[in-house]
Structure 1
Amino acid sequence: MKPRFLQLFLLLTPLIVGCTNQPKAPNIIYILADDMGYGDIKALNANSKIPTPHLDQLVNEGIAFTDAHSNSAVCTPTRYGTLTGQYAFRSRLKSGVLVGHEPALIEPSMPTVGSLLKQADYQTACIGKWHLGLNWAKKDTTQPLFHGGNLWDIFHTENVDYAARVSGGPCDLGFDYSFIIPASLDIAPYVYLENDQTTAAINRQVPFYKDESARGIWYRRGDVAEDFDHTTVLQTLTQKALDFIANRNEEEPFFLYFPLTSPHTPWFPSEEFAGKSKAGVYGDFVAMTDDVVGQVMQALDNAGIADNTLIIFTSDNGSHWLPKDVEQFNHSANGPFSGMKSDVWEGGHRVPMVARWPEAIKAGTKSSTLVSSTDLMATCAEISGQLTPSSACDSYSFLPALTGASSPNEQRTNIVHHSVNGTFAIRKNEWKLIDAKGSGGWSLPEGNCTDSLNQQLYNMHNDSSEQHNLYNEYPEIVKELNVLLETYKTGNEAR
């Protein structure tokens, strides 16, 4: 029995464990899809052209959040916020993402969700896409890590010691076990790292690859390990996650952070899922992603632990689904929202978020609670009966929303949005102020915008698709939100 477990649940669900009336700490699985939109899940978008039976089941058996957001519109900063409870713009990364050979972004002293739950006697595992930088060892410490090219297209990596332990990864940040790829599936190096060691030797370098027959099937050139096959990475990671669940220590709860490589490019659905959707290769890869969720759910059933396992599914940002894709397939991957991955418009960061925990969550619940991906830390702290670390200054517990319980804890009323180029937006209740003319990303770059106004103001309750800029109509709200945004940017905001 874990003494730190949430006292709140003594009031909510008096579970019988052995001969006691004390609740048992729940297992926690956090599945983070890569570039999947709000509109991809059939249960959240009746017009979706993609079959998602397992995610639909999660929606029907748990809770769906309709106002959930990634803390950034691109990969790396969202992952930073998810694990630390802190907006990534407070780190050294002010825009963009990291690539495979860049150093670790999370400082060694920074608490993570992994280290927090490890303190509460959880078994902790990270399996999947890392994309938070790693400290690769050098063969010759007097020389640079690599020569020539740039971080996105490195020419020579002879000085990277792939056989040495990599620091700054999951095992240095609170995870007992890890099996990861360094970055996205289209960013080198293409290697598996198990407990911060490569699993096979680097035996070749692949050139830039692109399949001209369909969009989204491509990856950058770089080093490849002998056991690495782009087309089977999702299957390999899934099996590792299933193995972890099956081989866990049954006497202790576990936390599995499971960041998927899909449906990010390259789109490589297996043969079983080819043609499964009516949204092209992307849709087929989303269908395969849904099947991964189903396999995890089945593993929980097989182990007899589904009832006391909190499983959360969400995405690191919106889908990279272009207007031409919407037109071709009549499928809106980002639902009714404007923009896409990279943008500070809603399509860039309004994400699907579904959770199931049969012993605590009422089936078929919908919640309009404002949630950020940074909120995992505070939620896990409350679940495990611990204080939220002071460094997790941007994290608010959404446990009361999960359980429907009242809580004295402060709830989130505002949230900061951040785009690929570092554009900010601030949301407070129904109002959203964007500190730019355009999308802050790829949909409408600032230089392509002809609007005379330098900012945008939208009422998200009445205009969630951001079609009517009310900047001139509500100057006092614009002023208030600019002041609030500045406090966040300077680090002076009050909790």
Structure 2
Amino acid sequence: MPSRNANNANNQSSGSDRSLTRRAFGTAVGATAATAAVGLPAAAPAAAAEPVAGRIQERPFRAARGKHARRPNILFILGDDLGWADLSSYGSPNIHTPNLDRLGRQGVRFTDAYSGSATCSPTRFSLYTGRYPGRTKGGLAEPIADRSAGLEPTHPTLASLLRGAGYATALIGKWHCGYLPDYSPTRSGWDEFFGNFGGALEYYSKLGLGGEYDLYEGDAEYKDLRYYTRILTERASEYVQRDHGDRPWLLNLNFTTPHWPWIAEGDTAESAEIVRRIKEGGLGGLFHADGGSIEKYKQMVEDLDRSVGEVLKALKRSGQEEDTLVFFASDNGGERFSYQWPLSGNKSSLQEGGIRVPAVLRWPARIDPHQVSDLPVFSPDWTATLLELGGARPDPAYPLDGVGLAGYLLRGERPRERDLFWRVRGERALRRGDWKYYRGKGGKDQLFQLAHDQREQADRAAAEPELLAELRASWERTDAGLLPYPTGS
């Protein structure tokens, strides 16, 4: 049972997720009645919530009339190593992201959304399987860097389960869940794949970490030496405008932007220098440790924003916008040039800056615009949610670790209380309500009350020893059910 302290923390949280309003399934609800049903005052639609001195200003919004809609198309977009505050709607002082900000205004913007892990491939495992990365051998790689591990084709995935329920499925962009010949999106439930298998590639040459060419259509190499983000944007725009007949569709659109190397479109001289280093056998060329800048990073993030905007315009032209659920998030926290304030840590760490991510969701047919939620959610929750909305049943042999949020989004049903769990080599973390248990590589157990200390600087372990012990025990119970890391890793 949750301790008294944990319950008090939940009761005293800001509660902005309670302001989330939604359209009920197939029920026409008047604005005044729907507002009263969730205990909110009637209010005129407000402007987008804007960042104020590094915080997110949250406002309640008026409910709107419900509509009936079919099962949604799903456009699930991931940025790569995008920090929590790298969007202007999340507080960035110098990066302008009008398209993603607009997407958030048109639906729900989540302030306490998390990735399933602190690096690329384990987060993708958690999203595709709906389970903790440590439940599968491939998920133990943090991240996958060779051909020894991957997502086993026998494991059910978001794509395979939705395909079984009648969806057309495609993945465009970064896979990073294993290499050919054993692992591929087309072996794990996606009808179509166009993109790269590895964790990073040079944006023009398409050379990967091992110097290999890494752009594929299906399981065959595809030659295109244009800037990678442009290619993915074109492919995704074509897919969302395609006639899929009566079948709903799932498109996982996984950009590599703004992951290193730090190359914006037009930086052909920098590209040539990195290619030279790669061909000489140096991985440092692709890591680009001596390159990049805040200004270059800004260019890349703003290009990601424009690219998402192009895909959304294509979706609107297709006439499917109303019945398409669009979700955008980062795959983990930001890296060298990300703006993370007020969070501590970055990619690879289980501090907030390594796992808290921007996340926005829009579904015009069912979900009202102008909403902000501080409900803690993480990657496996979206798997469970999309399966429920798509009418697909999880495989009971592979139980999900995420919680479906359809009732919360559409009917105002608060999810059951649960813990969010993370594990990486040398670090552990667990969030319950506003409390976070954290042990870093130094081995010290710490306790933070995030509602008052997002920066994780005021360690409450000594003041709350019983709560610390309870959260530590909860973490260890979950960890005991996962695969151990290989000896010596």
- In the superposition, the TM-score normalised over structure 1's length comes to 0.74
C-alpha distance after superposition, 1:51-71 (max 9, x if no partner): 101001111111101110001
What SS class does the counterpart of residue 336 from structure 1 fall into?
coil
Letter in 1 for 2:231: T
Q: Give 2:420's aligned residue.
A: 415
Which has the higher mean CA deviation after the structures are superposed, 101-110 or 66-75?
101-110
C-alpha distance after superposition, 1:127-155 (max 9, x if no partner): 1001111243xxxxxxxxxxxxxxxxxxx
1:22 & 1:12 partners in 2: Cα distance? 8
1:376 & 1:411 partners in 2: Cα distance? 15
What SS class does the counterpart of residue 433 from structure 1 fall into?
strand
CA contact 1:96–1:422 (8 Å) conserved in 2? no
1:392 & 1:377 partners in 2: Cα distance? 12
Change (3 A) 1:412 1:284: farther
2:180 & 2:436 partners in 1: Cα distance? 38
What SS class does the counterpart of residue 477 from structure 1 fall into?
helix
Letter in 2 for 1:471: A
Letter in 1 for 2:464: Y
Change (3 A) 1:22 1:294: closer
Identity of aligned residues (%): 32
2:251 & 2:71 partners in 1: Cα distance? 14
2:452 & 2:395 partners in 1: Cα distance? 36
Distance apart, 1:407 and its partner CA: 4.2
User: Equivalences for 1:273-422 in 2 at 5 Å?
Assistant: 279-321=294-336, 325=337, 333-390=339-396, 391-403=398-410, 405-407=411-413, 410-411=415-416, 413-419=418-424, 421-422=425-426
2:407 & 2:382 partners in 1: Cα distance? 13
CA contact 2:99–2:309 (8 Å) conserved in 1? yes
Change (3 A) 1:422 1:252: farther
C-alpha distance after superposition, 1:306-355 (max 9, x if no partner): 1111100000111103xxx5xxxxxx622311111111100000000001
CA contact 2:114–2:355 (8 Å) conserved in 1? yes
1:293 & 1:402 partners in 2: Cα distance? 23
Change (3 A) 1:130 1:412: farther
What SS class does the counterpart of residue 363 from structure 1 fall into?
coil
Asked if residue 243 in structure 1 is aligned to residue 238 in structure 2, the reply is yes
Distance apart, 1:12 and its partner CA: 7.0
Asked if residue 48 in structure 1 is aligned to residue 93 in structure 2, the reply is yes
2:110 & 2:147 partners in 1: Cα distance? 34
Distance apart, 1:422 and its partner CA: 4.6
Q: For 2:249, which of 254, 259, 264 is the aligned residue? A: 254
Q: Give 2:462's aligned residue.
A: 472
Q: Give 1:4's aligned residue.
A: none
CA contact 1:33–1:263 (8 Å) conserved in 2? yes
Letter in 2 for 1:432: K
CA contact 2:168–2:191 (8 Å) conserved in 1? yes
Which has the higher mean CA deviation after the structures are superposed, 232-241 or 60-69?
232-241
Change (3 A) 1:87 1:248: farther
Change (3 A) 1:359 1:422: farther
Distance apart, 1:11 and its partner CA: 4.2
Distance apart, 1:13 and its partner CA: 8.7
C-alpha distance after superposition, 1:31-90 (max 9, x if no partner): 011000111111121x43111010011111111011100011100100000100011122
What SS class does the counterpart of residue 169 from structure 2 fall into?
strand
2:319 & 2:29 partners in 1: Cα distance? 19
Letter in 2 for 1:396: V
Query: Where does the alignment leave 5 or more consecutive residues of structure 2 unmatched?
Result: 1-22, 31-66, 202-208, 268-292, 483-489
C-alpha distance after superposition, 1:149-188 (max 9, x if no partner): xxxxxxxxxxxxxxxxxx4211111111111201123423
Distance apart, 1:481 and its partner CA: 0.6
Change (3 A) 1:392 1:293: farther
1:74 & 1:193 partners in 2: Cα distance? 23
C-alpha distance after superposition, 1:390-427 (max 9, x if no partner): 32421111223433x1448x5453101234x3521111
Q: For 1:34, which of 80, 96, 104 is the aligned residue? A: 80
CA contact 1:397–1:411 (8 Å) conserved in 2? no
Asked if residue 24 in structure 1 is aligned to residue 29 in structure 2, the reply is no
What SS class does the counterpart of residue 38 from structure 1 fall into?
coil
2:228 & 2:24 partners in 1: Cα distance? 40
User: Equivalences for 1:187-266 in 2 at 5 Å?
Assistant: 187-188=209-210, 189-199=212-222, 227=223, 229=225, 232-266=227-261
Letter in 2 for 1:429: G
Asked if residue 132 in structure 1 is aligned to residue 177 in structure 2, the reply is yes
Q: CA RMSD in A?
A: 2.6
2:407 & 2:341 partners in 1: Cα distance? 27
Letter in 2 for 1:72: S
Q: Give 2:43's aligned residue.
A: none
CA contact 2:233–2:308 (8 Å) conserved in 1? no
CA contact 1:29–1:257 (8 Å) conserved in 2? yes
User: Equivalences for 1:175-190 in 2 at 5 Å?
Assistant: 175-186=190-201, 187-188=209-210, 189-190=212-213
CA contact 1:89–1:95 (8 Å) conserved in 2? no
Query: Where does the alignment leave 5 or more consecutive residues of structure 1 unmatched?
Result: 1-6, 15-20, 137-166, 200-226, 273-277, 326-331, 441-445, 447-452
Change (3 A) 1:72 1:422: farther
Q: For 1:9, which of 21, 25, 30 is the aligned residue? A: 25
1:369 & 1:389 partners in 2: Cα distance? 27
CA contact 1:104–1:135 (8 Å) conserved in 2? no
Q: Give 1:142's aligned residue.
A: none
- In the superposition, the TM-score normalised over structure 2's length comes to 0.75
